[in-house]
Homo-oligomer: A and B are copies of this chain.
Amino acid sequence: MAGEVRQLDDRKLAVLRAIVQDYVGTEEPVGSKALVERHNLGVSPATVRNDMAALEEEGYIHQPHTSAGRIPTDKGYRLFVDKLAEIKPMSSPERRAIRHFLDGAVDLDDVVTRTVRLLAQLTRQVAVVQYPSLTRSTVRHIELVALAPAKVMLVLITNTGRVEQRMVDCPGTVGETVLADLRARINARAAGQRLPDVPGLLEELPGAFEQADRPTVSTVLATLFEALAEQNEERIMLAGTANLTRFGHDFPLTIQPVLEALEEQVVLLRLLGETTDAAMTVRIGRENAYEGLNSTSVVSVGYGSGDESVAKLGVIGPTRMDYPGTMGAVRAVARYVGQILAES
């Protein structure tokens, strides 16, 4: 008896899976007859109808109008993603294409640009790539350049290749020897350290200088700390907005809030921020906090040069998306970007 119950449930799940697959393919509500024709479930339309009724009762599917086919709900997609589908690995030509496309990059900007375009093209959706975040990275080098007697340029270079620069207006003239000394001391202590740890390591530094130079040193350090702390500066790159036109028929209504969301870096950052670091995150429809994205799904994952992720990337598309394929593409791209970053 218990066996039969499970049997039943298995079939319902199969029906749900079939509905999701068909709907994603055709974009039209799917009916019982079409279902049995296209997938060879070994039962009749009537049986499927009963299962559909049950699935609707449970809230996994929904019919837009009384005599139309069924459409998966957010809950239905959720179940599909969690239990019914597996991430579809990229084919080996696809892998080669990815690798080839990313290998040509010359600097960090280029890596990010290429990545985001690639992802948009692979998934035919909107792609988002976050620049390797300052917080997670380590200091590769800090450079001080005297531009004018009392003007110093500070350049911060991270292990991920990111460069941040700041102008410093010093309280007085800065001697070249002092600057060289300061540069050496800063780098001796900070190089290789994680950015958030750096201020603690440099705190005592002004004490090592002569009284006269301390204001200058302090000013430079203050600017450096500011640059280190400025997490807001996390930048994001977008591509594939033109793919939004494939969204649906009730077009302007759906697309406008999405375009607005995409313009707000803050929204995007928060969106990616919700990604749990290593594992791939899928947010479906109303699961997204930002309501402009209530009819979209976000697939995101962290990427990084080593084991740990320094930033995130992802894809935004309609809830009706090809989840296995999208997840496969996102995962593959994230891996390769990680490798590229590790190499450089």
Q: Interface of A with B (CB < 8 Å)?
A: 106-107, 140-141, 143, 145, 147, 153, 155, 157, 163, 165-167, 239-242, 244-245, 251-252, 255-256, 259-260, 262-263, 344
Contact = CB atoms under 8 A, between A and B. Distances in A.
A187 to B, nearest CB: 10
A252 B241 contact: no
Q: Give the copy number.
A: 2
Is chain A's interface secondary structure helix, strand, loop, or mixed overall? mixed
20 contacts: A106-B166, A107-B166, A141-B145, A141-B153, A143-B143, A143-B155, A145-B157, A147-B157, A155-B163, A163-B163, A167-B344, A239-B263, A240-B263, A241-B262, A242-B259, A242-B260, A242-B262, A244-B259, A245-B252, A251-B252
Nearest to A187: B145
Contacts of A245: 252, 255-256, 259
Contacts of A344: 167
Contacts of A167: 107, 344
A106 B242 CA distance: 32
Nearest to A230: B106
Given A155-B155, A241-B263, A245-B256, 7 more contacts: A141-B145, A143-B143, A157-B165, A242-B260, A242-B262, A245-B252, A251-B252
Contacts of A259: 241-242, 244-245
A157 B155 CA distance: 10
Given A145-B143, A245-B256, A157 B153 contact: yes
A231 to B, nearest CB: 15
A263 B242 contact: yes
Contact of A256 (B155, B157, B242, B263): B242
A118 to B, nearest CB: 13
A193 to B, nearest CB: 15
A165 B292 CA distance: 38
Contacts of A147: 140-141, 157
Contacts of A256: 242, 245
Nearest to A242: B259
A162 to B, nearest CB: 10
Residue of A145, A157, A166 with most chain B CB atoms under a 10 A cut-off: A145
Given A155-B155, A245-B255, A165 B166 contact: no
Contacts of A240: 263
Nearest to A110: B233
A127 to B, nearest CB: 11
A251 B253 CA distance: 11
A268 to B, nearest CB: 14
A66 B240 CA distance: 40
Contacts of A107: 165-167
Nearest to A162: B165
Nearest to A249: B252
Contacts of A163: 155, 163, 165
A267 to B, nearest CB: 12
Contacts of A141: 145, 147, 153
